[in-house]
Amino acid sequence: MTTTPPILKHPMLKYIREDRMPAIYCPGCSIGIVTQMIARAIDNLGLDFSKVVIVSGIGCTGRTSGYFKTGTIHTTHGRAVAFAEGVKVANPELEVIVVSGDGDIAAIGGNHLIHACRRNIDLTIVCINNNIYGMTGGQFGPTTEHGRFSQTSPRPIGNPEYPFNLVQLAASSGATFVARWTATQARRATASIEKGIAKKGLSFIEVVGACPTAFGRMNRLGDGLDMHRHFLKVAEIQNGLPPHEAEFDYDRRIVCGEFVNIEKDEYTAVLKQMQEKLRK
Ligand SMILES: Cc1ncc(C[n+]2csc(CCOP(=O)(O)OP(=O)(O)O)c2C)c(N)n1
């Protein structure tokens, strides 16, 4: 007699809306890996998942929030951080996590990012930096390196602009926890997301990811596997390095690590103190 082996479920599926599977991501994309990092960080911390809110903007990464089986908001393009700030101010008891793309967070949403960092509001922002606007077919964005090829910066000249270095931007704007990893450093990145969630203040975690469909194809970087192997080669870990020294050179050296972990009063706590003073 043959026995049917039990169907094993992925342990993180308990956090995921299975009815939404399969996800929209292309083969070789890093977003699924980062989705799992967030789920594992929540699991490792033993959080009450009903008190976790996940917010995204628009884009491939922007679809991530909708896959989590909790309170989620898929907001308008660039406004993920603004919506997340609203949720946190309305109910500081909630654990608010933003996950969105580099275009969403640092271009159209760049102003919200820097001001949220300046306020030091207790959000965990996970920004998947795939170096391009993935969802709309591969236009250059705020993190695309000078000279890189994209739909809007074709051969032979490439991108006329210079990129933001996201960890420098977040740190100089006032974020109190700042880290960068690549999608191949899943355990380290998960640990940083955990620290970011536990931190009472603004945490910014950049995860450098592969977009083989747009960035990879236009810059002849191979498939998803090639791109992830490349990350293993160029990622250089330098925990504690001043963020302005955290170089991002896609071909040669992507400096990774936890660069900022400082204490500063958190925004909703400050608001609460002010309200209490006014009541007296
Ligand atoms: C106001 C507005 N402008 C432009 C768009 C078109 N749009 C949709 S997604 C996107 C870029 C997304 O890029 P990124 O945030 O880097 O995410 P990715 O898709 O690469 O994960 C743009 C420009 C839009 N939806 N709304």
Q: pLDDT tens digits for 18-50?
A: 999 999 999 999 999 999 999 999 999 999 999
Q: What CATH number belongs to 25-279?
A: 3.40.50.970
Distance 143 CA to ligand 1 centre (A): 13
Element of type H or E holding 226: helix 224-234
Q: Say how far apart CA 73 and CA 268 lie, in whole Å.
A: 20
Answer whether 104 contacts ligand 1 (Cβ < 6 A).
yes
- What secondary structure letter does DSSP report for 252? T
Residue nearest to atom 3 of ligand 1 (CA): 77
Answer whether 103 contacts ligand 1 (Cβ < 6 A).
yes
Q: What is the pTM of this model?
A: 0.97
Which of 216, 209, 196, 240 minimizes the C-alpha distance to 41? 196
Distance 237 CA to ligand 1 centre (A): 30
Best mutation site among 26, 102, 104 for ligand 1 pocket (most ligand atoms within 8 Å of CB): 104
Bridge partner list, 128: 101, 207
pLDDT in tens, the chain (280 residues): 778 888 889 999 999 999 999 999 999 999 999 999 999 999 999 999 999 999 999 999 999 999 999 999 999 999 999 999 999 999 999 999 999 999 999 999 999 999 999 999 999 999 999 999 999 999 999 999 999 999 999 999 999 999 999 999 999 999 999 999 999 999 999 999 999 999 999 999 999 999 999 999 999 999 999 999 999 999 999 999 999 999 999 999 999 999 999 999 999 999 999 999 999 8
Which of 125, 122, 123 minimizes the C-alpha distance to 266? 122
Residue 172: burial class (beta carbons within 10 Å; 0-12, 13-18, 19+): middle
Q: What residues does each domain of the chain span?
A: 25-279
Distance 133 CA to ligand 1 centre (A): 6
Which of 59, 102, 99, 94 minimizes the C-alpha distance to 80? 99
- β-strands 253-261, 248-249 pairing: antiparallel
